[in-house]
Each structure stands twice: as C-alpha cells, then as structure tokens.
Structure 1
Amino acid sequence: CYIRLHYMHISHPPIDDFDVFKESKEQNFFESQESIVALCTHLQELVTAIKDLDENQLKDEFFRLLQISLWGNKCDLSLSGGETSSQKINIINSLEELKPLILVNDMERLWSLLNNCKKTREKASITRVDIVLDNSGFELVTDLVLADFLLSSQLATEIHFYGKTIPWFVSDTTIHDFNWLIEQVKSSNHKWMSKCGVDWENYIKMGKWVYHDHIFWTLPHEFCVMSQVAPDLYAELQKAHLILFKGDLNYRKLTGDRKWEFTIPFHQALNGFHPAPLCSIRTLKAEIQVGLQPGQAEQYMASEPNWLTSGKYGIFQFDGPL
C-alpha cells in the first residue's frame, strides 16, 4: 500500500514529492520537545566533560546512550495506528527500571569491538559505524545523539545512516525527515538543543556523517539475498566496522520473518547475511525472536501472552567475531 501511495503521488505533479505521513511525524517531534531538550542537554554536558572521563566512565555513557536509542524505538506510529507516540518523559531517568526488560543484552560486545578499534586505530585510518534507521521524530533524535557521542568519544570517526527512499510504515525516516529534523533542532530557542543541530549540520558538511538511501530497504526481500539483489548496497555495508539495525522490521528481515525456535542462534537465523559485525537494536513488536536462553520465552509467555508484540521488551543482539 505504501508503494501504491507513492506512485499515486508521483504521477500527479505538483504533489509528486508529497509525504502523506509528514504531519504525524512532525507532531511526534514537537510533542517530544521536553524529552529532546533533556537529551540534547545531557549530550552537550557529556561532550564538554568527555576528555576527563576514564575508560569505565566512557563505557557507562556508551551503554546509557545505547539504551536511550533502544527505548526510543517505542515511538512507532505504524504500531500506534497513527495515534500520537511521542516521548513525554525524560527517558534518561527511566533507564535503571527499564534495564530488566532487555531480553538479550550484547552491549559489552559492542563496547569491546569499538574500543578495540579505537585503541588500534592509526591516525590515518577510520572506524566506521553504519546505522540503518527506523522511525523519524524522537527515535531519530536518540540515534543522532548516539552518533554524536560515537564521534566525540572517538569510538568512531565516520557514521553512515540509511533511510527509506519513499514514505514508509508511517514514521520511517526519509532524507526529508533527516534534514528537516536537524534544521528544527538547530533552530531551537534552547541553547544546547540548538548547539546539537549546529554540530550535526557540520558533521554532514565535513563528511563525518553520510546519509544514504536505497530502494532495497522498501522491497520485500529478506536481507540474506541482499548480496544478489542489491550487490552495491551489500558492498557499501561491508565497509563498516559495525552496523546497527534499528527497529522491528529490520529484525524481521534480518531473520527472514520465519517462525524460528526461540533458542535458535541469531547467527543461524541470519542465513548467511554477514556483511560486517552487526547488532539489532529493537523493541519487540512482532512474533519473532531468536537467541533466547532455554526456558526464557516460556517464562514470559506464562505471565504475558503479548510479550512479543507489546513493545515492552527490548534487545541488543550482536553477531560478529567473539
């Protein structure tokens, strides 16, 4: 239906670039202002102090911003039927109580990978992190804040973002959403929020942030066929040291949307899709999950029949070298 909507618009100038979901996405951003201000303030205070942080403190901050990016994935307009899904509380203050809801937690492996890259990186080399985006609005802010921290901490030297070529699944990010949001943050009356927007715009101008889109992300293929269907995209992803896949639909395509046993290893479910070390960052909104411990799924099913689809639980699920 999204493709039909798109072709209906492109065949009728002057509305050929019309995004039917634009108003809903922008509403999500504006209704989340208080949380966005708190997050941008936290980032700017962190960046100011980052040179004085020891390794353990840097790791703690990395974990904190990863979790914020995870729980930002709750803000999904396709799940809410277009109703408001804004973030109205300061998510930073909720992380401890949310931590038990992370069913698979491979954050330590992400830290080890990026910290080792940082320690072994020569001046001329780069560490590239790719982020396959999900929702615009508040979730996109959490992803950009994480990306800013990765650069500021030197855990990465380049961030590449991937969005949709057409309006997709209501709130999925397009290039218009990406640029619009950065402009809104830059134009804010709040000094720290505005500072974030200025920095983000500069990262783009300097080539430290690069945005890509590709038709493959809106095709029905599972990701294990990417190397045959879209070899150019697969080759681009192979340049990354780490790929972060945000959200539920990306997880479904990573795992082929099959009815796997809950305990099947993530590596097996990827079915040969290994362009680079990768991690799914997702709140559960579909009836698929792999890589759980024996008995873990049964425990949740006994008390919460909709545990797989409520968005209450989250994962950081990594596949890469041990």
Structure 2
Amino acid sequence: MAAGHVLIPPPSLSAKFEGSFAYLTVRDRLPTILTKVIDTIHRNKNNFFEKHGEVGVEAEKRAISFLSKLRNEMQTDKPVLLLTDSASDTEEWNRYMQRQQDLMEDGQPVSWFKSPWLYVECYMYRKIQEALAHSPPISDFDAFKEAKTESFFESQQAVVSLCTYLRDVLSTADTTDKNCLHDHFLRLLQVSLWGNRCDLSISCGQENSQKCNPMDSLHDLRRFILVDDSARVWSVLTALHGTETPGVRVDIVLDNAGFELVTDLILADFMVSVGLAKEVRFHGKSIPWFISDVTKQDFDWTLSQTAASNHRHMSSCGVQWKRHLKDGAWSYHDHRFWTLPHEYCDMPADAPDLYSALQGSDLILFKGDLNYRRLTGDRMWEHTAPFERALRGFLPAPLCSVRTLKANVQVGLEPGRAENLGSQDADWMISGKYAVIQFCSPLREQQQGL
C-alpha cells in the first residue's frame, strides 16, 4: 500500500463484507483544512483580546499549539490518540477508537495512514473541537463560521431567484392540481440536489457558491442524474393523502449551510405550504463539522438573515420560515450520533433513541456525500450492488439519498454504466458533476408497487 493512502475497511472485518476495499489519499485535504483552521483562529486574535482580554490571547495560543501538534501527527502517521475533553460524546468516541484498535491484527497502534478514511476525517473535526474545549474562554468559537457566512452572501442572487420562484408558485399554484404540484416538486427537489455541489469540505474552504439562477440549468443537468427515483419519492408524499393519517412527516438530514441549506428550506416550505407534508424535521450537527455542515446556529442565522433581507420575496420567505418554526410545522433537531464516526447501520445499537425517532417519519431525505458514505459504510461496493444491500439493515423509514458525487462510493447503477462513465471521465465519482436521487423503502410490498 502506497505511503499516505488509507485503506477503507468495514468497521467489522467480517467475511460477509461484499465490496472490495478502496484507497484514498489523506495527506492533502486534511492538513490543508487544519492549516486554514489555525489561520482563522490566529486572525481572530484581536477579537479574542477585545472580548476576553489577555485570557483570550492565551486561549488562542493554546488552541493553535494543540492544532499544530495535531497537524504534525497527521502528516507523520502518528497514532490517533484518545480524546481528553469532557464533552458528552467523549466516552462514545473513545469506545469506538478502542474498537478500531482491537481490529488491528498485528497489534500495531491505529495511526492516521492505517485507519478507515471516514474515521480519520471525522476524528480530525472532533479533535478541532477538543482543541477549543481545552482553550476557554474561546471554547464556543466556530472556526468555519466565516466560510459559511461568505458562502451565503456570495450566493445572494441565486437565493433571490429561488425565493422569487417559490413566492410566485405559492401565490398561483392550484393545490388540487396534482400534475402542477408534481412538476414544481420535481424542480425544487432537483434544485436541492444540485445545491449539494456547494460543499466547502471538498473545496477545502475555498469559495464555492452558487452564482446564477439554479432554475435555468435544471433541464441541462438532468442527464447527469445517474439514478432518479423522484417518482418513488413523490409516491410516498401522495400515498397518504385522503387517508385517516394525521399528515405526512418528512425528515431532512441536512448537509451544508449556505446556499444548499436555502434550497432545502425552499423545498420544505413548498411541501408544507401546498399540503404535501404536515411536518418537516430538520436534523443538523451539534458542533461545527466538515467546514460547512449545518449547526443550530447556522440554521437560525440563515432564517434571520433571509427575513431581514431588503428583497421582498427573500424577506417574505424568511418570515414564513420563522412562522413555520413557531407553528410547529418545522423543527430543528441535533444528536451527538451525527458527529460520531459510526456507520448508520450502527444507529439501532449505538443511538436507539435517534433510530426510534426516525422510525416515526414517512420519508427521510439524506442530503449530501457524507450522509451517503455513512449510509453505505464508505466501502467501495460493486457499482451494481443494490442500494438496500449497501444500507446493511439501516432502514428506519422510506429514505432517499439526495447527493452529488464527491467520494469513491456509488451503488445501484445499471450494469456497464460505471465502466462507460469511467472511460469518459476518470473523476466521475468525485467531481460533483454527477448526482443521484436514490430511494429505498422498508415496505417490500410498497417497494414493488412504486
């Protein structure tokens, strides 16, 4: 195995594993991200001094020292170390790390280059939080906030276009016309899909915003959707209409703040406003994660910024979104499991409360690449392997992955499709050019009928 590359094994080295192993580089992206975090903390030195005095300056030095040491350990393949802070998830993280150590057949310590790729990525972001936890009074500093804020403002014109489209649709749509609603839903689902391109963890924090009106490119982008189960998603939303159920509940497991979050809010607003869903539950991260992942602070800030806009349609959307929260049609939830390194098939055992909560959903939309990697265990499955098999039992409710491809894992393709793509574009799995809307239902009879 080449130095600087990481084998991606399953969490359990079981003979039942069906995919081959994958190799990904760890030397480039993670140190670059860590260097940017160090730079961001240093650039805020004066702010820390103004807010906390010399104590803030000492905290800045302490955090930078911790992260510089971490960067050196990463680049020189040192062992990964147990967490030492007192956060609510520390014990769970350390148990998982010990489990990884127990899997090492030669007894060597688990190190940066000899660990599952997903694991060391998550570990780095968790260690950033540990560095800040050991550096009061700046422990609550979000080192990624500047990048997320810039991404939002750089996408203003696209946000205005989307808000204008939504307000026009809601003011004219005939909610009894299923064909009309279907057309608008598909368009907004695709907008949410392509919004996933705006991922700062892939661009290492470099500006990656949406500049133009996303509605204008939907037709041309359709041919890049490799799996399109939109019809099955629509069927779930409409199947309960006219029944005695209290209304459809949709859960959205969020990915990126900024423009992508706006596309998710637009889709959720449409579903609630036209009666496709009675309730939407948003799931985000409890700590800053993968640079641009949504936290509660990001969620609330986005609603406030939108409501305060001087553009009437954008402001109208923000006001409506706050009303949805107040009325209970929308709610935001976080859980420490979303920032643990586990695959989602571990959820019933390691986070039974979260799994039970998701079982109450009628449809779960998993946004983005990281969610897809955790759904499928970040293994290099055969590209034709069924999505349901790759989930390995994780199916609390009908679910759909809404994702642009930015990592070396993809299942559920037709025979020969991956080979054809690879012959035309060597980077088809990581460029964000291609996408999937990939559905799976735990109800076999429903699955066969859709």
> TM-score normalised by the shorter chain: which range applies?
over 0.9
- Once the two structures are superposed, the pairs formed by residues 165-184 of structure 1 within 5 Å of their partners are 165-184=286-305
Is the Cα contact below 8 Å between 2:173 and 2:180 reproduced in 1? no
Query: Which residue does the alignment assign to 2:318?
Result: 197
Q: Does residue 331 of structure 2 align to residue 214 of structure 1? A: no
Write the mapping of 1:120-199 to structure 2, written as runs, cut at 5 A: 120-122=243-245, 125-199=246-320
Question: Residue 206 of structure 2 aligns with which residue?
Answer: 83
- The answer on 1:71 being equivalent to 2:194 is yes
How large is the Cα RMSD of the aligned pairs? Answer: 1.0
The question of 1:281 aligning with 2:367 is answered: no
**Pick aligned residue for 1:99 from 222, 225, 228:** 222
**Separation in structure 2 between the aligned mates of residue 101 and residue 162 of structure 1, nearest angstrom:** 27
Q: Are 2:177 and 1:45 equivalent residues in the alignment?
A: no
- Measured after TM superposition, the shift of residue 126 of structure 1 is 2.3
The residue aligned with 1:255 is 376
Q: CA deviation at 1:81?
A: 1.1
Say whether the 8 Å CA contact 1:41–1:192 is kept in structure 2: yes
Superposition deviation, residue 54 in structure 1: 1.5
* Alpha-carbon distance, 1:11 to partner: 2.9
The structure having more radius of gyration, on CA atoms, is: 2
Contact 2:175 2:274 in 1 (8 A): no
Superimposed CA distance per residue, residues 23-78 of structure 1 (whole angstroms, 9 cap, x where no aligned partner): 00000000000000000010111111123662111101000000000000000001
Question: CA offset at residue 318 of structure 1?
Answer: 0.1
Q: Distance in 2 between matches of 1:17 and 1:47?
A: 39
User: Does the 8 Å CA contact 2:175/2:181 hold for their aligned counterparts?
Assistant: no
Asked if the contact 2:224–2:435 (Cα under 8 Å) also holds between the matched residues in 1, the reply is yes
1:119 partner letter:
G
Does residue 10 (structure 1) correspond to residue 133 (structure 2)? The answer is yes
Distance 1:308 1:52 in 2: 39
- Could you tell me which runs of 5 or more consecutive residues in structure 1 were left unpaired when the two chains were aligned: none
Identity of aligned residues (%): 56
Name the TM-score, length of structure 2 as normaliser.
Answer: 0.70
Partners of 1:211 and 1:171 in 2: CA distance: 17
**1:319 and 2:423 matched:** no
Q: 1:259/1:52 Cα in 2 relative to 1: closer, same or farther (>3 Å)?
A: closer
**Secondary structure in 1 aligned to 2:401?**
strand
Distance 1:2 1:52 in 2: 44
Identify unmatched segments of 5+ residues in structure 2: 1-123
Match of 1:303 in 2: 424
- Shift of the 181–74 alpha-carbon distance from structure 1 to 2, 3 Å rule, reads same
User: How many angstroms apart in 2 are the aligned matches of 1:261 and 1:111?
Assistant: 28
Cα deviation digits, residues 220-241 of structure 1 (max 9, x gap): 1000010000000001100100
Q: For the Cα contact (< 8 Å) 1:117–1:155, is it kept in 2?
A: no
Q: Structure 1 residues 153 and 16 mapped into 2: Cα distance closer, same or farther (>3 Å)?
A: same
TM-score, length-scaled by structure 1? 0.98
The 8 Å contact of residues 174 and 180 in structure 2, kept in 1 or not, is answered as no
Greater shift, 156-165 or 3-12, is seen at 3-12
> Given residue 271 of structure 2, which amino acid in structure 1 is its aligned partner?
L
Match of 1:269 in 2: 390
Aligned to 2:365: 244
Deviation at 1:120, TM superposition (A): 2.3
- Judge conservation of contact 1:118–1:154 (CA < 8 Å) in 2: no
Equivalent in the alignment of 2:159? 36
